[in-house]
Structure 1
Amino acid sequence: MKVRLSPFVVGLLWAAALLWLFPLVGAFLVSLRTLDDLTLRGFWSWPREITLDNYVRAWAEAGVSRYLLNSFIITLPSLLGILVLSSMAAYALVRFRFRLALPIFLLFLGFNMVPFQMLMLPVFRLANQLGVYDTYLAPILFHTAFQLGFATFVLRNFMRTIPASLFESAVVDGAGEWTIWRRIALPLMLPGLAAIATLEFTWIFNDFLWGLVLLSRDELKPITTGLANLKGQYIADWPLIVAGSLLATLPTLIVFFGLQRYFIQGLTLGATKE
C-alpha cells in the first residue's frame, strides 16, 4: 500500500532537508578557503579563492590519516565482538527456556538507560586496575561491553521472528547448538546484524568520550579526539579542522549507504513482528 503525500507535506520535507544540509554546505565551503580569507570576510561569505590544500594538509600534516587508522583499529574489533556476543546472547534468550531469561533480558534493557557520563570515573579507574589504560584494548573492551545491551535487545526481537520449528528440525537431524547458531541462526539474522553493524559502526567511530577518557597518547587517539587537538590555545585553523572533520565523515557515510537496504529491512522486521 502506497501512501500519497500532499504537495504541502512534500514541500515541508524538502524544506527540512535543505535546512539540515545548509550547515554542511557552509562547512564544505569553509574547507575550500584559506584562513586569511575566512578571518577577513566571515563564515558565510563566498570564497575568493578555492583550494584543496586544506585536505592535503589535514591528511598529511595534521595526522588525520593516523587518527583514522586508530579509529578503524578501535571500531572494527569492537564491532566484531558486539555482533558475535550479542547474536549468541539473543540466540540463548530465545532458544532456551529458563527461569532467569526474562531478568537477564531486562538487565540488558536497563543497562541501555544508564548515562555513560555517570561511568566515566569508574571506567577510568577500572582501566587502570586492569592495566589496559592508554592502550587500544581499553576502548575496544568498553565499547563492546557498553553496546552489548542495545545490540542484544534488537537481535532478541529479531530472533523471535524465526520459526522455532527450524531449530527443532535441526536438533532432530543431530545438529548441536553451536552448529544451529552458526549455520541457521546467523544467516537468518543477517538483516538484523547489518542494522546493528551500521548503527554501532557509526556510534563507535564517532565516539569522543571514551577516546578522551581511556587514551592519553596522541598516537593512539581516534579521529574525534585527534581533531580536537588541532585547535590551538589562541587561534584555530578552522579550514584545516573542518577539512579534517569532513574526511572523518566519509567512512560512516560509506558504511551507511552500503548497508542502507539491510539496515531498514532489519529494523522494520525486528520491530514489527513478534
Structure 2
Amino acid sequence: MDSEEFEEIPWSHLIPDTTPSGNRTVMIAGGIVIALVVGVFGARMLGGAEQQTVLEPVSSSSPTVNVDSPVELAVTVPPTTAAANVLYTEADLMASLSPSAAPSVSATYFATRFVRDFFTVDGDVAARARLAALFVDGDQLPLPHGQDMPTTYVEWTGVVRSVTTPAGLDVVVAFQMLEESDGSGEDFVRSDVLEATVSLVAVGDGYAVASLPSVSVSTTPQPLASWVGSATAPQWVIDSAMREIGRFASDADVIAAELVDGGDWRVVLLATRSGVSWPIQLRVLVTP
C-alpha cells in the first residue's frame, strides 16, 4: 500500500495579493532615500569627530596661528635677547671664556689694606713679616708689630686722592685709629682723622710699597727703593721735620736723612704715638 504525502502551503501564498504595484515601488524608493540620508549623516559625523580630535591638543594659552598667512607665522617667532648691533671687544670675549679669572688687586685697595695693617698693632707675631713683605725693601724696618707695645686699631680707611708719579702711584689714604688709653674708665680712645700717603710701584701683576708712609698732608713723598738715608741733615731740616711730625706723634727721633732731587730732604723718624713707635718719613722742602 502506497503512503500518501502532504505538502504544507503558507496561508500568505493562498491569500491573493491586493497591494497595488505602484505603492510597492514607492516604498522601495523611500527605503533607498532613507538609507542614503543615514549614510551621508554618518559620514559627516565621522568627519567632525576627526577634526575635533586634531584641535583638542591645542592649548587655550597658545597664540592663534593662521597657517594660510605667512605673516602670522613670522609673528610667532620669539624675539632674540641680544642686540644685533652690539660689538664685543676681545677682552669681553676672553672674560666670557674664563669667568673665574680674578682681576689684579687695585692700587687703592692695596693702599688702604696697607694703612690698616701698618697702623694696627694687636700683638700678632706674624704681622711684622707679613707687613715687611709688602715693601720693596722692608726686611730691616723697625716695625712695632709683634712686640710688647700698647694696642692700636684702624677703625676705618678711605682714599682721598691718588697721584701718578714717574716711579708709580701715590695714594693718599684717610684713616682713624682706636688707641689703647692710659686713663681710667676708658679702654680705647678715638684719634683724629689722619692722612697717610702711600707710594706704590708696580711689581709683576701687583704692587709694592716703595717707601715708608708719610703722614704729612701738605707734601708728597718721592718713591724711593730704600728707607735708609746716609746724609746728615742740617738743623733747620731736623727742626722742620720735628714740627711736622708733631701733628701725628707725641715724640719722635730722627733715624735717617737723605738729600733728594731738587734740593729737598727726606727725613725718616721713629714717631711714637700712644706708646707705639712707627717709622715715618717726611719730605722737607728746600723752599717752603
TM-score under structure 2 normalisation? 0.20
- The structure with the largest strand share of the pair is 2
- The structure with the largest helix share of the pair is 1
- Highest relative contact order (Cα 8 Å, sep 6+), 1 or 2? 1
Asked which structure has the greater CA Rg, the reply is: 2
